[in-house]
Amino acid sequence: MRIVLLGPQGAGKGTQAQRISERTGARHISTGDLVRAEIKSGSELGETIKDYNDRGELVPDEIIIQMMRPYLDEADSWILDGFPRNESQAEALDEMLREIAAKLDAAVALEAPDEALIRRLSGRRTSEATGRIYHVEHDPPPQSSEEDPGPFIQRKDDTEEALRRRLRIYHEHTEPLKDYYAERGILATIDATQRIPDVTEGVLEAVGEKA
């Protein structure tokens, strides 16, 4: 099984990729995780990526593609989370798959209204003491400092302004990939506002139909 998960920030791509990986044995390949690992390694590629991040610039497609290439050939079954993010990267993925005589089985788009995603993400708070993530509405931080002393902070990229900016980027650059894959007959769309287990079952059913 080789699938791509599409969806805006907060739609649950990482959560679903992990759950599907546990259910199927397919490898969860997260662009974000690979970027962080590459930077932490101190490699030349990692230093280049860190330089772009420190300047607040998007990492160029060719660098992301260079980073992803070795991982696609290592596993026969995988779920891509965060790649491709635009048509150029999608075309590069197609080319890499041709080189290893493989094909993409499905592209699954997790969909949710922008306002629902903003409510979900802007309410997140992270404990500096424990690293646990809470939500001001659904799972508020404990009142007792013995349970978790906090403090409970909002990540800079979870502010409403930052979220709206990232959603605009998604709609402009990544969402058109739904048409890209629909034209090939391998797109499935899932309502990401459902319960997490229901979304997982929907993805697995869609992949079963497409793969």
Structure confidence by residue, pLDDT tens digits, 187-204: 999 999 999 899 999 999
Q: Which of 85, 120, 125, 210 is catalytic?
A: 85
User: Is 165 one of the catalytic residues?
Assistant: no
Three-class secondary structure of residue 2 per DSSP: strand
Is the omega angle on the peptide bond into residue 8 within 30 degrees of 0, that is, cis?
Answer: no
- CATH 3.40.50.720 correct for 2-114+159-210: no
Please spell the DSSP secondary structure of 19-54, one letter per residue: HHHHHH--EEEEHHHHHHHHHHHT-HHHHHHHHHHH
Q: Is the pLDDT of residue 106 over 90?
A: yes
The answer to whether 93 and 102 have CB atoms below 8 angstroms apart is: no
* Cα 50 from chain centroid (whole Å): 19
* Residue ranges of domains in the chain: 2-114+159-210
CA distance 23 to 28: 11
Q: What is the mean pLDDT of residues 107-113?
A: 96
pLDDT bin (cut points 50, 70, 90) of residue 138 is: confident
- Residue 184 bears catalytic tag: no
Average pLDDT over residues 112-140: 88
Of 13, 27, 120, 210, the active-site residue reads: 13
Catalytic residue, candidates 40, 98, 155, 165: 155
155 is annotated as an active-site residue: yes
The pLDDT, as a whole number, for residue 52 is 87
